[in-house]
Structure 1
Amino acid sequence: MFKFIVALIVSCGVLCGAVPLDLSRAANSEFRDDTADDGKGGWTDQGAENDLRTLAPGVIRCAPVEFRIAGGRRAAIVLGKTPQRDFASSARIDLNGKTLKTLFLLHAAAWLPAFERPLGYIRIAYMDGSEEELPVLSGRDVGNWWEPTALCNGIVAWEGRNPSSVVGLYASSFALRGGAVRHILLRRSGLTGLWMVAAVSGSATEEVLENREKSRVLREKGDWKRLPFRREVCKGSALDFSFLLDAPAGKYGFLKVENGHFVFERNDRPVRFYGANLVHAACFPSHDRAEELAEISARTGYNVIRLHHFDDKILASERRDSVSLHPGQLDKFEYLIAALKKRGIYVTIDLFMSRKPAAGEFPQIRNDRDYKLAAMLIPEVNRNLKEFSRNLLTHRNPYTGLTLAEEPALLKLSIINENTPFHLIMNGVSKGVRERYRAEFERRYPGGMKGGEPDPELFRKFISDVYIAYYKDMAEFLRGLGVRVPLTEQNFIASPNLAVHRELYDYVDQHLYYDHPVFPEKTWELPMKFHGRSVIADRLQSPARIAPTRLFDRPFTVSEFDFSGPGDYRMQGTPIFAAYAALQDWDALNRFAYSHTLSNPGCFDAADDPVRLLGDRLAAVFFLRRDVKPARNCVPVAVSPEAHKDYRQLYPEAAGELALRCRTGSIVWRGEATRLPAGTEQLYALAPEIIGEVRKGVPVLRNPKNLVTEVASSTGELHVDFRRNLFQAVTPRSETLILPEGETLSGGILTVRNRKSACAAGVIALDNRPLPESSRLLVLHIGNVRREGLTLRSSGMVVEDYGSGPLLVRKAVADFTLALPPAEWKLYALDCSGRRLAEIPFERNREKITFVADTFARTGPAMAYELVRPAP
């Protein structure tokens, strides 16, 4: 009888509680999309590497509401428009008189409009003929489906993963005037942005989603203790890695390319570079501060610094143009270069990063993305780029006596930072620049329009042709100024389609971040979201994601990489990245960043972060000192020379994971004329003409039938266990063991039993001898460090405040055992500058030394130790 009454009430149009609404007639899309950009939809129409097929049909509960996920070809509603094309403009859900007081959406967005701009509208048509309309606001009611984070009116109700990212859906509630509803109309706003609705539920009563978000503030108590810190590194201490540098920079002449690697004019041995970025105001220190900064960089082991985002700040704050350099700023900039050069530190730059036009100079340019695209096509903007470049590169530095064009300490040069035209076009461009591109396209291809829009394949060919002509012209211009260093561009996006363009360059450069912040409200403003996951558990996406983008016949550099945020596993990143970069035999790495301001470090900065700075020591020996051997064998990825026909933003994950075993990179497949690199075992084919011939024999680590849990490098030095979250690099002169709490791991001479908190353990021979023969060892026990006052929302990693108090180190405890020959060993705990705090007792059992590494040591918090004996 009770069931009958409930059924009767519902059939009469009253919703009891929050119940799912039927979308079968309104839905216009499926969650699966097999082919990217084919105009047939399927979620965001971005292909199998970036769809929502992982969302299974069934029920998703988010108290007090229940959502029902449908399957098949009509499962979701997708509305809006992307920079490429229009999707549906509206969808109607018929209710036929059901009473609603609260509406719930399970939804997400792509190409999200600016914060609190309308992505779409909900129009409620009541049976009495009245209507009400509610906006759905970006960053308040709905957020990006990649790396979702809770919003003011958007609880993350479901999370999953596709090959490109962690993805999710938001549950949002909307209070209605209430009454019997004829239908609900969901309509797009007209702004660029895609609104994807997976399910809708409604209630006849006022209902509120349970707010599961609470904030917690980090204080010095429990597992967190104050960590004394100063930026200076004590000269001659165990943390002074200046022994890796060869001063002054430029002593061997200009850098050039030979046999696929960098060499100097007067030294034919391949050379590598490891360092950091200085960004914005940090590129303009006072003279005294420049000397301090250069000395700290040298003692950290950096032999290259990338000067980044300096171009806007090297101009006058009030100016008539965007090319005239400010004398005071230029003086600071050039003095810094001289200070770095004196210590053996090279510099690398881009010629455009974020320079803004002067008032009225280029009205059609609204942002740096517009400028980058305009410089490729619009003559007056291209002239602006050349004029700024001439002013910068031909000014004589009074502290070196050379212009930058003449300066051998200028290592290499990228023309425009992150200038990837396919990606920039897809992410939108201002009206004035877009119209110039369309007009030029129609001029070159009079019959190239289809339905009022450019033919996609033909338009990609046009973009490619524009880019190639632009790059060749800029390279010729720079050589005409006397620039002799290697040139590159498009240092962003791991797309196989860029291989053809990158054949134009002297070297290939890339950027890659793991746990890059996501901005749920305003870009580059708090709150910021991080996922905080282990990069090992994520199958080493960094560095695997960019490994295939390298071209085998030229050097490969990474001018930006980082493992961001305050997560408990971030100590894994830098040593792992550098170890695999060495296995790949890459040529230069610049971690992002050392500092943006030198006084108030941001979410990427290492200046006040011992986790990053200690990780740099392991990275420096693995990569710069070449402790990790390059793999001799390789599996190239064959890509098509017809880049314009099909744009893929990423390589398949299986291609990237080849880098965990052997060398990999791309070759552009041109049939029998294709030259395979030495050591080629097989090909991983993306070129359509050879897929059928070679893919069966490729040693793929990831595919639907084969997901390996452990991978050892072909050299035997690197080993990763995805299941247990373990990594080890074991070389004759250095080792690192990375392991979570409760695990034990052994290398060559080092064994660690980790009792508390994830850590990166390491041992480095400071005298270049094999570890058992060394007389001076640096032993590292890197836990986590955060700043007091750090405020996180809920149990996740949404940062509301980075804190302004002292550094706090997390309690981490591990038993360290080192198999070393008998000798009069002494062990010292070190502070963050390398100064000895106290001698540490240890146990001696035959040829093994064992001690407890505790970041809360009585001698003072410590994450580094020095183990010494009299020289034999």
Structure 2
Amino acid sequence: MRRAILWGLAALLAVPSPVAAADEWLPVRETSMVLGTASPLDFSAFLPNPAIDDGSQLVTGKQGRLVRADEPEKPVRLLCASLAWSPASGGYPDHADADHYAAELAKHGYNIARLHFVDASLMFGRNSDFDFDPEVLDRVHYLLAALKRNGIYWIMDGLSSWRGAYGGYDDRWDPASDLKLALYFDDKAFDHWLEFQRRFLTLVNPYTGTAPLDDKALALVILVNENNIEFDSIVREREGKPHYDERLKLPFNRWLEKQYGSTAALSKAWPDLSAGERLEDASVELPKSRYEDSPRLKDLQAFFVSVETTTAARMTKALRELGYKGEISSFNNWPTIQTTLSRQDLPVITMNTYQDWVGSYAPGATMTQKSSIDDGAGYMRLIAAARWLGKPFVVSEYDHLFWNRYRYEAGLVMPAYAAQQGWDVLCRHGHGPIILKYNEPYAHKKAMLPYAIALDPVARAGETLAALLYRRGDVSASKLTIPFLVRGTEDLDDDMQAREPERLTELALVGAIGMEKAGEVDDGLTVGQPRASVDPQTILDAARAAGSLAKDNQTDLRTGLYESDTGELLLDRLRGQLRVSTPRTEAVAFSTLREPVNLGTVKVEASDGDGLVSVSVLDNAASIAQSRRLLVIYATDAHNTGMRFSDDEEKVIADFGRLPVLIRKGYVDLSLTLAEARWRLTPVTLNGVASVTAAQTISPAGFRISNDTISGPTTFFLLEAD
């Protein structure tokens, strides 16, 4: 009861102040978004991308992390640019824009890119199978070469579109086909997938002189995007249709026959087996509902594990026979116990996750408007519990979606915990992470939309901070690892949607977590089986006793307070705050600020609303206190002009509106403990220009930052010793 009361109080405190009046929303003035020379937002000087050549390909090192082959003892953190282009978002750029785009990605700190739905783009408007659009193919090839010249590796999907490379379809971005399911059971579908790999990946790129399959820049192939059988069936679920496709029935019956041998044996395990169901004539039915727990559903999950692992192995073998030597993954979403088992044998684990997922751009689309901090970073913990320890871990998609008012949290929650967990790749999903200019004439660039992070100043501020927290390594990796022990299919239960318990995944807010085969690790600091018998507090107590967790660590599971073992991260669900305190970055995301927040060198004294504030070193100094050049980020919220909702809570969209983007006006009062008495505070425009005419001399002992500057609203400020 006490816990329920505390969570209710946290939700009450997290309610933001009423939506500001129209004159409190400030229109963005920038059109060009290309960073100028010597821009404070150009990180390439201290986050350089080494050349990609022989010896620099990414491989798995001995410690289970991604490394460059010629530096096998040095794990790399890869900040990923999601390139999920379609005709609606402008498609692949021409050669000149590709050169500019790749160069800009490098300036922003990206060192890997994921090309998503390439198959759909190549086949858009084509009527014959594998009849790639020659102009699109040329643009894809040129972009790959431009990325490589800028030291940016590639991640590719073996298949993204449900239509694959079949001709004659105009719904390539919609789940209209059962191709992803057919790949498991139909050799013709498998052969189609393989032929696409052969025709695209083995075709020599004229701009690199090498086929993508053989290129050192191709770091990872995700065999098929989001291809878990259960997830695909949910995506294609329609009213009046069975939950499970009839094509599953015969292979399921054959699998059951191998497991049980006879109908009589099966009837002892399944109380609901009817008289008309017999293994001998393959008449055993699939579950009618995925939401009614039963032994039938438990066995269906074990069947899925068998089919998925066998098919992934078959696909992997086929790619190897084509000559591919790089990393491979699959099943990159759906964090259930069943899918965790399917991922067990993969060399790399990939996962997608979202806070406040949005499924449509149409009026009436909804979201919850929930805070991820109030949820204890639940969307981060979901995928943390899908990791297998000792293998590279790639976040192939994540976002805290527009128009959620708390999405400023994403710039702190995900990069901070990705670094703390020791993950290898972090990819915030979108049509592209940056744009070269506003006001492009494409449907998905006429306004901010979900999955269009490049147009959103709040998301861009978060990605800028991610380059520092995650890629630069301002947040250090946890030294405490807590394995979750896995036995095998005996860990499945009757619930098809079963996941690792939330009360246990909260341990990810203290140390690194992941799956480990039972019997390989047993040092007392493990989450054993059955999970219901595990007390997370007992594990934390054991960590303190072993010296793996400091005696004064502030974590209190009862009140929702979690401090990382490094002491750098402090998540406070009750106050709606995440604090990050490291030598080179101090930051806080907050839905309430009832009292000043002391981060160490930086103190946030007051604010007129919720938001994100960070202060980061920009020079070679080892700490904020020693630095003479600091970047301050202050992010609130942003809407489109004319944006309308169907409800007062802004959960239901009525009209996304249009450009220009509007930033919610706000201010924050800061004080910094610095040796120099006089500093110069200069607003930096969204496209990275320091507005010298708007600079002011301030005392670090106390000053105000307002995003309403004479050069226009912004999220960036440069603080330099005068």
TM range (shorter): 0.7 to 0.9
Partner of 2:670: 816
**1:459–1:814 distance in 2 versus 1, CA, 3 Å:** closer
Partner of 1:136: none
Partner of 1:585: 422
Distance, in Å, in 1 between the alignment partners of 2:59 and 2:156 is: 16
Q: Secondary structure at the match of 1:698?
A: helix
Q: Secondary structure at the match of 1:320?
A: coil
- The answer as to 2:558 corresponding to 1:707 is yes
- Among 607, 612, 622, the alignment partner of 2:469 is 622
| 1:238 to partner: Cα distance | 0.8
Work out whether residues 548 and 655 of structure 1, in 8 Å CA contact, stay in contact via their aligned partners in 2.
no
**1:517–1:328 distance in 2 versus 1, CA, 3 Å:** same
- Among 494, 503, 520, the alignment partner of 1:674 is 520
Partner of 2:70: 266
**1:541–1:316 distance in 2 versus 1, CA, 3 Å:** closer
| 1:594 to partner: Cα distance | 4.6
**1:500–1:806 distance in 2 versus 1, CA, 3 Å:** same
Partner of 1:385: 193
| 1:841 to partner: Cα distance | 2.6
| 1:709 to partner: Cα distance | 2.8
Q: Secondary structure at the match of 2:105?
A: helix
Work out whether residues 464 and 644 of structure 1, in 8 Å CA contact, stay in contact via their aligned partners in 2.
no
Bigger CA drift: 647-656 or 581-590? Answer: 647-656
Distance, in Å, in 2 between the alignment partners of 1:427 and 1:806 is: 34
Superposed CA offset, 1:809-858 (max 9, x none): 111111121221126632211110111223433443xxx44321111234
Give runs of aligned pairs for residues 671-820 of structure 1, distance below 5 A.
673-675=519-521, 682-685=525-528, 687-688=529-530, 692=533, 697-699=538-540, 707-740=558-591, 742-743=593-594, 744-769=596-621, 770-797=623-650, 798-820=652-674
Work out whether residues 678 and 697 of structure 2, in 8 Å CA contact, stay in contact via their aligned partners in 1.
no
Partner of 1:505: 346
**1:435–1:794 distance in 2 versus 1, CA, 3 Å:** closer
- Among 341, 346, 370, the alignment partner of 2:148 is 341
| 1:645 to partner: Cα distance | 5.2
- The answer as to 2:387 corresponding to 1:540 is no
Partner of 2:363: 526
- The answer as to 2:180 corresponding to 1:372 is yes
**Between Structure 1 and Structure 2, which shows a larger proportion of strand residues?**
1
- The answer as to 2:635 corresponding to 1:828 is no
Work out whether residues 575 and 592 of structure 2, in 8 Å CA contact, stay in contact via their aligned partners in 1.
no
- Among 653, 669, 684, the alignment partner of 2:502 is 653
| 1:595 to partner: Cα distance | 3.2
| 1:576 to partner: Cα distance | 1.6
| 1:360 to partner: Cα distance | 8.7
Work out whether residues 385 and 505 of structure 2, in 8 Å CA contact, stay in contact via their aligned partners in 1.
yes
Work out whether residues 683 and 694 of structure 1, in 8 Å CA contact, stay in contact via their aligned partners in 2.
no
**1:427–1:312 distance in 2 versus 1, CA, 3 Å:** closer
Work out whether residues 605 and 668 of structure 2, in 8 Å CA contact, stay in contact via their aligned partners in 1.
yes
Give runs of aligned pairs for residues 222-621 of structure 1, distance below 5 A.
222-229=23-30, 230-243=32-45, 244-250=47-53, 252-258=55-61, 259-268=63-72, 269-281=74-86, 284-315=92-123, 317-321=125-129, 323-356=130-163, 358=166, 367=175, 370-425=178-233, 434-446=245-257, 447=262, 450-451=273-274, 452=277, 453-454=285-286, 455-518=296-359, 523-595=360-432, 599-600=445-446, 602-621=449-468
Q: Secondary structure at the match of 1:510?
A: strand
| 1:778 to partner: Cα distance | 0.8
**1:428–1:333 distance in 2 versus 1, CA, 3 Å:** closer
Distance, in Å, in 2 between the alignment partners of 1:637 and 1:257 is: 22
Amino acid at match of 2:611: C
**1:484–1:772 distance in 2 versus 1, CA, 3 Å:** same
**1:432–1:782 distance in 2 versus 1, CA, 3 Å:** closer
**1:424–1:335 distance in 2 versus 1, CA, 3 Å:** same
Distance, in Å, in 1 between the alignment partners of 2:82 and 2:355 is: 17
Report 1 or 2 for greater relative contact order, CA contacts < 8 Å, sequence distance ≥ 6: 2
Work out whether residues 497 and 639 of structure 1, in 8 Å CA contact, stay in contact via their aligned partners in 2.
no
**1:747–1:459 distance in 2 versus 1, CA, 3 Å:** closer
**1:433–1:224 distance in 2 versus 1, CA, 3 Å:** closer
Work out whether residues 247 and 341 of structure 1, in 8 Å CA contact, stay in contact via their aligned partners in 2.
no
Work out whether residues 228 and 333 of structure 2, in 8 Å CA contact, stay in contact via their aligned partners in 1.
yes
| 1:675 to partner: Cα distance | 3.1
Distance, in Å, in 2 between the alignment partners of 1:359 and 1:404 is: 23
**1:352–1:295 distance in 2 versus 1, CA, 3 Å:** same
| 1:492 to partner: Cα distance | 0.5
Superposed CA offset, 1:650-670 (max 9, x none): 22111221111111111232x
Work out whether residues 219 and 788 of structure 1, in 8 Å CA contact, stay in contact via their aligned partners in 2.
no
Distance, in Å, in 2 between the alignment partners of 1:693 and 1:657 is: 13
Q: Percent identity?
A: 26
Distance, in Å, in 2 between the alignment partners of 1:436 and 1:786 is: 46
Work out whether residues 504 and 536 of structure 2, in 8 Å CA contact, stay in contact via their aligned partners in 1.
no
Across the two proteins, how many residue pairs are aligned to each other? 636
Structure 1: gaps (5+ residues): 1-53, 55-159, 162-215
Q: Secondary structure at the match of 2:123?
A: coil
Q: Secondary structure at the match of 1:260?
A: coil
State the TM-score, normalizing by the size of structure 1. Answer: 0.68
Distance, in Å, in 1 between the alignment partners of 2:91 and 2:114 is: 10
Work out whether residues 527 and 534 of structure 2, in 8 Å CA contact, stay in contact via their aligned partners in 1.
no
Amino acid at match of 1:573: A
| 1:298 to partner: Cα distance | 1.6
Amino acid at match of 2:212: L
Amino acid at match of 1:615: G
**1:585–1:415 distance in 2 versus 1, CA, 3 Å:** same
Superposed CA offset, 1:778-818 (max 9, x none): 11111112211111122122112211131111111111212
Amino acid at match of 1:807: V
Structure of higher CA gyration radius: 1
**1:812–1:558 distance in 2 versus 1, CA, 3 Å:** same
Q: Secondary structure at the match of 1:578?
A: helix
Q: Secondary structure at the match of 2:122?
A: coil
Amino acid at match of 2:81: A
Distance, in Å, in 1 between the alignment partners of 2:196 and 2:313 is: 18
Distance, in Å, in 2 between the alignment partners of 1:251 and 1:527 is: 52
Amino acid at match of 2:580: A
| 1:236 to partner: Cα distance | 2.0
Query: Could you say what the CA RMSD is over the residues aligned between the two structures, in angstroms?
Result: 3.0
Q: Secondary structure at the match of 1:771?
A: coil
Distance, in Å, in 1 between the alignment partners of 2:683 and 2:243 is: 61
Distance, in Å, in 2 between the alignment partners of 1:606 and 1:694 is: 39
Amino acid at match of 1:544: R
